[in-house]
Chains A and B, each alone.
Chain A
Amino acid sequence: MIIAERKPLEEIAAMAAPYKKICVLGCNTCVGVCMAGGEKEAAETASLLRIHRNKENQEGEVDVFSLERQCEFEFIDEVLERLKSYDLIISLACGVGVQTMVEHVPSLRVVPGLNTTSMGYPTEQGVWSERCLGCGDCVLHLTMGVCPITRCAKTLLNGPCGGSAEGLCEVGEDIPCAWQLIHDRLSSFSRLNDLNEIQPPKDWSTSHHGGPRTTVREDVRIDRGE
């Protein structure tokens, strides 16, 4: 899922300061599940913002509700008129949700209430860890299901660097070394020899380095012209 965390309230309040009719808009999919921007967090954010604005003697009102998904037109369309009635929408969706809304309804003024961090999963209660960077050419079959693009701080493809110590990455004490994990998994499947093959430079053109990506599936497209 997409993982995010709420921006500091001060930052949100500063974005909202010039506006009067404000809506905090939650999103109940990924960011709802990772407890950053779902219904509950949206209500919380709205009430904190109200208290803050009261203290600052700022006029206006802060409304709050949530969409099932801010990244799909259908869900936006259902509440279109309501959305248009606000001066400002503080979206608690990921960065994709914010952009879906402004592209679909250009007259809306939408600002992000979250910092979108990564794609990953909850590794324990209250901890979400990044697992995929969407590189566009998955190598997990070569690395026993551990992503070196995401989990190795240097995106190495040919084994651990000289900074790997006691299972940890040189970058931080709480970061496991991805290549130690890959090594251990290869070892447990008696496939350590795989590491001896020199992996060629990665073709990054399938990743964001090739420019913004669009995925087209002709077989499921609806021809709108005819």
Chain B
Amino acid sequence: MIAGSNLEKIVNSGNFVVTGELGPPKSSDITQLKHHAEEMKDHVDAYNITDNQTAIVRTSSIACGSTLVQMGLEPIIQITVRDRNRICIQADVLGAHALGIKNILCLSGDHQSFGNEPGSKGVYDIDSMQLLKGLQEMRDENRFMGGDEVEAPISYYLGAVSNPFADPFEYRVDRLEKKINAGASFIQTQCIFDLDRFEKWMELVRERGLHKKAAIMGGVTPIKSLGAARYMKNNVSGITIPDALIDRLKGAEKKKEEGLKICIETIKRLQEIEGVAGVHIMAIAWEEIVPEIVERSGLYPRPQV
């Protein structure tokens, strides 16, 4: 056990993990976020809290994470390298630890040009790999990135993201391995719509035994409408949606139910794939559907460990 988080315990227990995602609002009123957290609290093992997702200014991930801790729930705070240099990131990690946050997910972050402050200066002092390695050393070797000593022990469960759908495809498994070597204990993937490509990727992952070194959680997103699918296909960086899936939605009478079905089928298939340790459900702007997805995927009740 590294940090003793609920997420880590469930991963270690060998149960299929379920995590959800909460997007902080563009205001400091986090009532809705708390409401969504309550709504799915019996259905997910932990909640990702996004860090100024798509480079849009929102309440900070750590502030929302701290609120969840106070509610007795378990956050996974996301940290991108876009907005903070190594001084600020390390300070925030110390702060997050002091506030009882036990899971950290490291990522590059969408470029600032996508967001609502496109004229901002991107930081990118370190990259996501260096972030992972730096946080691992802070935890395991009591050392800040600059070499100074961390004066009291600190611990957290470290994760990273992986996008099997980005290019160059052959490099994606190398990159996953690199992230695991840099300290990632769990991996959440980009939304899976192209299961064939995902399975091909998992095959490569298994060939190298990477699924035994880190818990690989497949990312899923329920699609609410045809428009949402098209939007994601064309506008969200790093996501690929096969035309067949768009056609299936097009042909369906009840788009919402069809989108839900696709999501549930994906989760069921993920449970069959050797080496997939769990699912990460990103139902942004459709949070209330998470309990139904989890139940219909046969993942309810959640294990108590």
**Which residues of A line the B interface, CB within 8 A?**
153-167, 170-172, 177, 180, 183-184, 192, 195-196, 198-202, 204
Alpha-carbon distance A115/B187, docked complex (angstroms): 44
Contacts of B174 in A (CB 8 A): 159, 192, 195-196
B181 part of interface (Cβ distance < 8 Å) = yes
A158-B127, A196-B178 given; A163·B133 CB < 8 A? no
A153-B111, A170-B237, A196-B174 given; A164·B133 CB < 8 A? no
Say whether B126 faces chain A, with CB atoms less than 8 Å apart.
yes
Least Cβ distance of A211 to chain B in Å? 15
20 additional contacts (CB under 8 A) given A153-B113, A154-B127: A153-B111, A153-B122, A156-B127, A156-B128, A157-B129, A159-B174, A159-B175, A162-B161, A162-B238, A163-B108, A163-B237, A163-B238, A165-B167, A165-B238, A170-B114, A172-B113, A183-B171, A192-B171, A196-B178, A198-B178
In the complex, which residues of chain B have a beta carbon less than 8 angstroms from the beta carbon of A163? Answer: 108, 110-111, 166, 237-238
Q: Does B259 contact A (CB under 8 A)?
A: no
Q: Once the chains bind, are B127 and A162 in contact (CB under 8 Å)?
A: no
Q: Which of A153, A164, A204 contacts B167 (CB 8 A)?
A: A164
Residues of B within 8 A of A (CB): 81-82, 86, 107-108, 110-111, 113-114, 122, 124-130, 133-134, 145, 161-163, 166-168, 171, 174-175, 177-178, 181-182, 190, 237-238, 240
A-B pairs under 8 A by CB, number: 103
A160 touching B166, Cβ below 8 Å: yes
Contacts A/B (CB < 8 Å), 6 sampled: A157-B127, A159-B171, A162-B107, A163-B237, A198-B181, A201-B126
Do the beta carbons of A160 and B171 come within 8 Å of each other? yes
B129 touches A198 (CB 8 A): yes
Whole-angstrom CA separation of A146 from B127 in the bound complex: 18
**Which B-chain residue is minimally distant from A153 (CB atoms)?**
B111
Q: Name the distance in Å between A105's Cβ and chain B's nearest Cβ.
A: 33
Q: Using A196-B177, A201-B125 as known contacts, say yes or no to A158 and B167 having CB atoms under 8 A apart.
A: no
From A153, A162, A192, A204, B166 is in contact (CB under 8 Å) with A162
Closest chain B residue to A149 by CB distance?
A: B124
Residues of B within 8 A of A184 (CB): 168
Q: Is A158 within 8 A of B110, CB to CB?
A: no
Are A195 and B130 interface neighbours, CB within 8 A?
no
Check if A159 sits within 8 Å of B178, measured CB to CB: yes
Contacts of B162 in A (CB 8 A): 162
Name A209's closest neighbour in chain B (CB-CB).
B125
Residue of B82, B124, B130, B190 near A199 (CB, 8 A) is B130
A171 to B127 Cα, complex, angstroms:
17
- Do residues A201 and B238 form an inter-chain contact, with CB atoms below 8 A? no
Chain A: CB-nearest residue to B132:
A198
Q: Complex formed: what's the CA distance from A158 to B108 in Å?
A: 11
Cα separation A170 to B82 with both chains bound (whole Å): 14
Q: A163-B238, A165-B238, A180-B168 are in contact. Are A158 and B178 (CB under 8 A)?
A: yes
- A198: chain B residues at CB < 8 Å are 129-130, 133, 178, 181-182
A170/B111 contact (C-beta < 8 A), A160-B166, A162-B161 known: yes
Is B145 a contact of A201 with CB atoms below 8 Å?
yes
Does A154 lie within 8 Å of B134, measured CB to CB? no
Q: Could you tell me the distance in whole angstroms from the C-beta of B221 to the nearest C-beta in chain A?
A: 15
Known: A156-B127, A161-B128, A183-B171. A171 touches B113 (CB 8 A): yes
Chain B residues whose CB sits within 8 angstroms of the CB of A180 once the complex forms: 167-168
Q: Decide: A154 and B122 in contact? CB cutoff 8 A.
A: yes
Q: Which residues of A contact B114 (CB under 8 A)?
A: 170
B111 and A162 form a contact (CB under 8 A): no
User: CA–CA, A153 to B113, complex, Å?
Assistant: 10
C-alpha spacing A163/B235, complex, angstroms = 11
Q: A195-B171, A196-B178, A201-B86 are in contact. Are A164 and B127 (CB under 8 A)?
A: no
A196–B182 Cα gap in the complex (Å)?
10
Q: With the chains together, A156 CA to B168 CA distance in Å? A: 15
- Residues of A near B175 (CB, < 8 A) are 159-160
Which residues of A have CB within 8 Å of B134? Answer: 201
User: Which residues does chain B contribute within 8 Å of A156, judged by CB atoms?
Assistant: 108, 124, 127-128
Docked Cα-Cα span, A172 to B113, in Å, equals: 10
- Complex contacts, A166 vs chain B, CB 8 Å: 167
Chain A residues, CB < 8 A from B127: 154-158
B residues near A204, Cβ cutoff 8 Å: 125
A192 to chain B, nearest CB (A): 7
Question: A200 — which chain B residues lie within 8 A by C-beta?
Answer: 130, 133
Residues of B within 8 A of A158 (CB): 127-130, 178
Complex CA–CA separation, A180 to B237 (angstroms) = 16
Chain B residues in 8 Å Cβ range of A160 = 166-168, 171, 175
Residues of B within 8 A of A167 (CB): 167
Query: Which residues of A sit under 8 angstroms from B111, Cβ to Cβ?
Result: 153-154, 163, 170-171
